[in-house]
Structure 1
Amino acid sequence: MPETEPTRTQTATVSPPDAPSGGAAKPERFVRVITAIATLGALLFGYDTGVISGALPFMRDSTEEGGLGLTATTEGVVASSLVFGAAFGALLGGRLADRFGRRRAILSFAVVFFGGALGTALSPDATSMVVFRVILGLAVGGASATVPMFIAELSPAHRRGRLVSQNELMIVSGQLIAYTSNALIANFSDNEHAWRYMLGLATIPAVLLWCGMLFMPESPRWFAAKGRPGEALSVLRRIREHDAAQAELDEITERTHEAETGEMRLPWVRRLLMIGIVLNVGMQLTGVNAMVYLAPTLLESIGFGTKAALTTTIANGVVAVVAVSCGIYVYGRVNRRPVIIAGQTGVTVALTVLGGGFLLPESTGRNYLIIVAMLAFLFFFQGAIGTGYWLVTSEIFPLRFRGRAIGIAVFAQWIAGGVVTLVVPPVIEAVGGGTTFLVFAVINLGTLTFLVKLLPETRGHTLESLERRFRSYARV
């Protein structure tokens, strides 16, 4: 934090000039540090969503054997409880971020992450597990709504795609850590409570997130929206070249002053909200939760043992990390729209192949086809869809209610994800993986049609110039 912060009554024009920062390297390096700390929330998001895939097989054991005696139905409830908690966490996170600031919201969610992770690790029965998974979900949803927005608001326009995309990289890195730790614990620990260690490890990054965010600045755009331009300028001078800070603040302030009463009811805003909701619901209707939460179960269904399935799942995490790394590179150099449309096309094709694979007679070749289709799905999803959808969601909404609007869009995502996670296990059990994934393929064909018609391009614009451009939308 700066040694002396301006008071609320200072204006941007009377704030004393800071010394030159020594060029672009130092401000950009500081933005990278902020991104690295804030995205620990995304790491927790990824770990807590991925770890359950390894813990569920052990929680199916009876209580005498160290498990919780889960059935197919209660397994779906345990898995989906985090997702429904995340839905309301997203709404809460957006409102907290708009009212108290992005930084304070992330600090609060770090505390909830810690308590939820500890509670799940110590849960004595399925009911307690569901309660603490809901609590953990509040933090996951809050972080999913707040962290990308926080990074987008601090990033320079030419670096925003790459920096915001690191949020998705940390999500999949968290999932890879979860898959790897699950496999290590499963293969090298004979303890009947191995699943408790899997879940309890999430407390470590929660502590690191809380400690790190104590030293991070607030979003300058939040300061400006709250009528505190002096503090906004103070932060901008730490994260921009000295001459650019005042110009950026002037642009932010101009946009803030143009805001209209009841703006969320205006046609152009409702159109953006519709696009944000479709993007976020569409992300879950790819069936990604079935892959993330149920990958070991799906592999067991084609003949893998529990430990072998958990070990093979690591490949999912590796592919996801590689795919997001590729996505970060591409989104830093190419327009968002064509990459997202290409990714949605790839996901639709992969789901079709996956569904067809499950319908084939059992054979080694069929099993390899299913595994390849799963990995192809994850590559297209993580490299283009997951990365791009979060990025565009963080960019399209106006400043004055950005947190609230993102919260609504992400709330819709988590509700859709919760429904998918809840119904997929019994549906797969009833009709099989083939029919299930072919239905997902049809749904994704509809999403692809929507993207081709209505997805806007956001690359190469400041958040304020995007807002100016979107105001020209006359109707939904």
Structure 2
Amino acid sequence: MLFAGCGIQIFQMITGIDATVYYSPTIFKNAGIESDQEILAATVAVGSSKTIFILVAIFLVDKVGRKPLLYVSTIGMTCCLFVLGIALTLPNSAFGINLAILAVCSNVAFFSVGMGPICWVLSSEIFPLRLRAQAAALGQVGGRVSSGLVSMSFLSASKVISVAGVFFVFAALSAISVLFVKVCIPETKGKTLEQIEMMFRGEKNSNRGEVEFGDAERLIPTEEK
């Protein structure tokens, strides 16, 4: 549980969302936008995308489930970060500029529909009540430290490997986050705390070496069904 809860908090940050939001003017300038007004308009578009898709996540999280939204989010972010890296290798071209704006806005949108809000939902669901506060706080420490490292190192790293290179790194980390979601994150939609705890027990006791999160109903004793 701790590995899943802390891991999702860390992956939420190391995939570069804070760098994308905080340094979006720098990204757009690197893509070739020179006008301050155009940079401001593109930055406003980024903020608007984030707000709109957080609202979308609110309506979908209990209908679609946590894990499907995380898949959509992490896969979408991986593609957008990779495309952004490509766009930043084509500076001073209208196609590169438009592609960069689209990639940044789409990346923020995919983050806001999955990794952003669901990270907090899972932290409130997967830990038992007796340890929830401590475990959630520990996960948040990992997330905040990761956020600080990404935010403080972005400009320095971009000077060494270029802004495009940094986003290729973020794309690789986002691809790893897809595997993390597949292996370590359970689907908690409609599950009680007891059922969620049994799912993690099933993972620990599995002799096949894989997570059997889909077998929660099989793990529940007959009298509890």
TM-score range, shorter chain: 0.7 to 0.9
| Structure 2 Cα separation of the partners of residues 311 and 279 of structure 1 | 32
**Residue identity (%):** 29
Q: Does 1:291 align with 2:8?
A: no
| Structure 2 Cα separation of the partners of residues 454 and 299 of structure 1 | 35
Relative to structure 1, the CA distance from residue 474 to residue 361 in structure 2 (aligned partners, 3 Å threshold; closer, same or farther) is: closer
Residue equivalent to 2:44 = 314
| Counterpart amino acid of residue 298 in structure 1 | I
Q: 3-state SS of the aligned residue for 1:408?
A: helix
Residue equivalent to 2:140 = 410
| Structure 2 Cα separation of the partners of residues 449 and 383 of structure 1 | 18
Q: 3-state SS of the aligned residue for 2:187?
A: coil
Q: Does 1:381 align with 2:149?
A: no
Q: Does 1:434 align with 2:164?
A: yes
For 1:189-222, what per-residue CA distance to the aligned partner results, in whole angstroms no more than 9, with x for missing partners? xxxxxxxxxxxxxxxxxxxxxxxxxxxxxxxxxx
Q: How does 1:281-430 map to 2 (within 5 A)?
A: 281-301=10-30, 302-430=32-160
Residue equivalent to 1:196 = none
For 1:48-99, what per-residue CA distance to the aligned partner results, in whole angstroms no more than 9, with x for missing partners? xxxxxxxxxxxxxxxxxxxxxxxxxxxxxxxxxxxxxxxxxxxxxxxxxxxx
Report how far residue 461 of structure 1 moved. 1.8
| Structure 2 Cα separation of the partners of residues 296 and 405 of structure 1 | 36
Report how far residue 454 of structure 1 moved. 2.1
| Counterpart amino acid of residue 424 in structure 1 | F
Residue equivalent to 1:273 = 2
Measured on the aligned residues, the alpha-carbon RMSD in Å equals: 1.8
Report how far residue 469 of structure 1 moved. 4.3
Gaps of 5+ in 2: 207-225
CA contact (8 A) 2:54 2:113 kept: yes
Gaps of 5+ in 1: 1-271
| Structure 2 Cα separation of the partners of residues 290 and 475 of structure 1 | 39
| Structure 2 Cα separation of the partners of residues 468 and 318 of structure 1 | 40
For 1:246-295, what per-residue CA distance to the aligned partner results, in whole angstroms no more than 9, with x for missing partners? xxxxxxxxxxxxxxxxxxxxxxxxxx101111101100111101111111
| Counterpart amino acid of residue 299 in structure 1 | F
Report how far residue 438 of structure 1 moved. 0.6
Q: How does 1:134-283 map to 2 (within 5 A)?
A: 272-283=1-12
Aligned length in residues: 205
Report how far residue 322 of structure 1 moved. 1.2
- Normalising to structure 1: TM-score of the pair? 0.41
Larger Rg: 1
Q: Using CA pairs below 8 Å that are at least 6 residues apart, which structure has the higher relative contact order?
A: 2
| Counterpart amino acid of residue 280 in structure 1 | Q
